[in-house]
Structure 1
Amino acid sequence: MHDDEQAIRNLIASWIEASADGDVERLRLLMADDVVFLTPCQAPLRGRDAFMAVFEKGLQHYRIDARSEVREVRVVGDSAYCWTHLTVTITPTKTGLPMRRSGDALSFLQKQAGGNWVIVRDANMLMPEPAPAGSM
C-alpha cells in the first residue's frame, strides 16, 4: 500500500476516534479551513468553523459511535478521494433511544505543504436505519 493511501486511511480512523472521544481539536486538524460537507436534505455546511459549531453543539446532547469501512482510496499527486461505508450511532446523553444511520461517503482530500492530508469536501449519504423489530 502506498504511503499516501495509508495516511488517508489513518486520517479516516483518526476522524472516527476523535468523533467518539469528542476531541474537537483533533477533528479541526483533519479538515481544511474551507471544507464543505454535503448531506441529504441539508444545505451545504461550509467551512471548518461552521462544522465545529454544529459538532460542538451536538456533543452537548449526544454521544457518537461510528464504524467505517474504507472501500477505495485513489491518490493523484496532492489530491485524493476516499469512498467509505459508514455506520453511525448517535446516542442521547440524557434520555431517548439511539439513532443509527448508515450509508456511503465520498471524501476529497488535499495534501498540505507539511505532508499531512486534510478533508476538503465530503459528501455523505447516510440515512436513518429502520428501528429493530419490537423496539416500539
Structure 2
Amino acid sequence: MTEDERAIRQVVATWMQASQSGDTATVLSLMTEDVVFMVPGQEPFGREGFEAAASQPSAARPQIDGTNDIVEIQILGSWAFTRNRIDLNITPPTGEPVRRTGCTLTLFRREADGRWKLARDANLLMEKS
C-alpha cells in the first residue's frame, strides 16, 4: 500500500468517525472549498449546503452508525477516486432508525499542502428495510 493510499484511507476513516460523533468541523476540514455532493433526488450542492445541513443543533441532528468499506482506490497524479460500499443506520432525534445502504464514487484531490481532501462525491445510498 502506498503512502497516498494510506492517506486516502485515513480521510475516509476520519470522515466516518467524525460523522458518527457529530464533529462537523473535522468533516469540513476533510473537503475542498469547491466540493460537490450528488445525492439521489436533489440538485448537486457544495460546501455551503453541506455546512447548512450539518449546522443543526446537536439535539436536532441524527445519530449515525455504520460502515464505509473501500472497494477500490485508484490514484492518478493529484487526483484519486474510491468506490465504497456504505451501510448506515441513521436515527433521527424523533423517529425510527432508517437504514441506508449502497455505493459511492468519491474523487479526492491532493491540495497544495500535500493533504488529500474529498472534492466530489456521488452518493447512491438507498433506504433499506
Q: Where on the TM-score scale, by shorter chain, does this alignment land: which range?
A: over 0.9
Which letter does structure 2 place at the counterpart of 1:34? D
Which letter does structure 1 place at the counterpart of 2:100? R
Map Cα deviations across residues 51-88 of structure 1 (whole Å, 9 max, x no partner): 11112238524111131110001001110001100011
> 1:17 maps to which residue?
17
Shift of 1:50: 1.6
| Counterparts of 2:55 and 2:65, CA distance in 1 | 15
> 1:134 maps to which residue?
none
Q: How does 1:1-136 map to 2 (within 5 A)?
A: 1-46=1-46, 48-57=47-56, 59=58, 60-93=60-93, 95-130=94-129
| Counterparts of 1:104 and 1:68, CA distance in 2 | 9
| Counterparts of 2:112 and 2:67, CA distance in 1 | 29
- In structure 2, runs of 5+ residues without a counterpart are none
- Please identify runs of 4+ aligned residues in structure 1 that moved more than 6 A: none
Highest Rg: 1 or 2?
1
| Counterparts of 1:81 and 1:58, CA distance in 2 | 32
Per the alignment, in what secondary structure is the counterpart of residue 13 of structure 2?
helix
| Counterparts of 1:101 and 1:38, CA distance in 2 | 16
Per the alignment, in what secondary structure is the counterpart of residue 27 of structure 2?
helix
- In structure 1, runs of 5+ residues without a counterpart are 131-136
Question: Given that residues 54 and 61 in structure 2 are in contact (C-alpha distance below 8 angstroms), is that contact kept between their aligned partners in structure 1?
Answer: no
| Counterparts of 1:49 and 1:39, CA distance in 2 | 15
| Counterparts of 1:112 and 1:83, CA distance in 2 | 21
Equivalences, count: 128
* TM-score (normalizing by structure 1): 0.89
| Counterparts of 1:29 and 1:16, CA distance in 2 | 13
CA 1:54/1:86 → structure 2, altered by over 3 Å: closer, same or farther? same
Question: Given that residues 36 and 121 in structure 2 are in contact (C-alpha distance below 8 angstroms), is that contact kept between their aligned partners in structure 1?
Answer: yes
* TM-score (normalizing by structure 2): 0.94
